[in-house]
Amino acid sequence: MADLAIAPPRSSVIADAFLRHRLSWSDALIWLVGIAVYFVASEYLQLATQTVIMIIFALSLDLAIGYGGIESLGHAVFFGTGAYAAGSYALYVSSEPISGLVAGGLAAAVLGILSGLLILRVRGLTQVILTLAIATMLLQVATTAKSITGGDDGLTGYRIAPILGQFEFDLYGHTAYIYGLVILAVVFLFCRVLVNSPFGLTVRGIRDNPLRMRLLGVPVTARLLTLYTISAALAGVAGALSAQVTGLIGTDSLSFLLSGNVLIMLILGGIGRLSGAFLGATVFVVVSDRAAAIDPFNWLFVLGAMLILAVRFTPSGLTVVIDRLVARLSPGARRT
């Protein structure tokens, strides 16, 4: 009873969560760079938009792996589901883009619930194999159901209306980039609130010691299923955004290659750190593009070498290295 008497009110807990996730100088720098790209690198806006999409996708995977400890090698299944849902929504229901994003996120969330009920019953390698198996099955369905998905030719022919009825998608990607950047900001703020909320702290505890959390009375499976569903929904939003700005959905949006790529992005940036998704996805997409432009036949060698070097010299991710460098260069560190 004494503990209940001194427990802080719910409003105080929520306010404390917002204080814990307040933006730092590095967060501000990220958004300043994102805005600057629009003005100083307008010829690369299409590449920048793809980077934004991959950041959203990486954030979704980081929720599952980095914060929940849910091991997945088939996260592209949610990306592809969101993409096909948004494309089908635009074809048969409405070309309005924001509701299309919601449709993509909801479709992926439903799949997240259904698949989560299966994969969260197991741990370790079995869980990894199950996520890969589910993704492989959905890829096969997308390949054979040509009347719905277009098969290997992809789903095309849909039109996306102007955003809010005012801003049309242009050939050079100006509207698409700003649209993607706004969606990324919403997703990022949502993730910051989520991981620093009581729910987020609980799933971190489950990641570190599920048995102890279960003994404390925490509904471990329900919490993980909720987190996995949220992660799937955000991946679906990324897929829906990709479908809207590119006007094409291919079966590669469900492929193991895409699942592996987004995992590499997290490894490069740092798993369990939201800023890692930003840095890892940006480095991966930009290096891949430049390497492919220089040598279209051997560019994968550059990615392999980059990953080997990252794992060898920065196993915790580039964000940890940057944080340590900033700490050493800070005035307080020099005084000590």
pLDDT given at position 20: 52
Q: Is a pLDDT exceeding 50 seen at residue 254?
A: yes
pLDDT given at position 192: 92
Q: What is the dihedral of CA 146, 152, 156, 160, to 10 degrees?
A: 100
Average the pLDDT over each of 13-22, 143-152, 167-176 and give the range with the smallest value: 13-22
User: What are the residue ranges spanned by the domains of the chain?
Assistant: 41-255
Q: Is a pLDDT exceeding 80 seen at residue 335?
A: no
Q: How many CB atoms lie within 10 A of CB 163?
A: 18
Where does residue 31 rank: exposed (0-12), middle (13-18), buried (19+ CB within 10 A)?
middle
Write out pLDDT tens, residues 110-151: 999 999 999 999 888 899 999 999 999 999 999 998 888 888
Average the pLDDT over each of 56-65, 96-105, 134-143, 298-307 and give the range with the smallest value: 298-307
- Beta partners for 155? 249
Q: Return phi, psi of residue 255, to 5°.
A: -80, 160
Average pLDDT, the chain: 86
Where does residue 171 rank: exposed (0-12), middle (13-18), buried (19+ CB within 10 A)?
exposed
- At 61, the pLDDT band (50, 70, 90 cuts) reads very high
**Tokens 């003005």 map to which residue?**
39
- Beta partners for 163? 167
Average pLDDT over residues 60-88: 94
Write out pLDDT tens, residues 24-42: 666 677 788 888 888 888 8
Both tokens assigned to 199: 């729910």
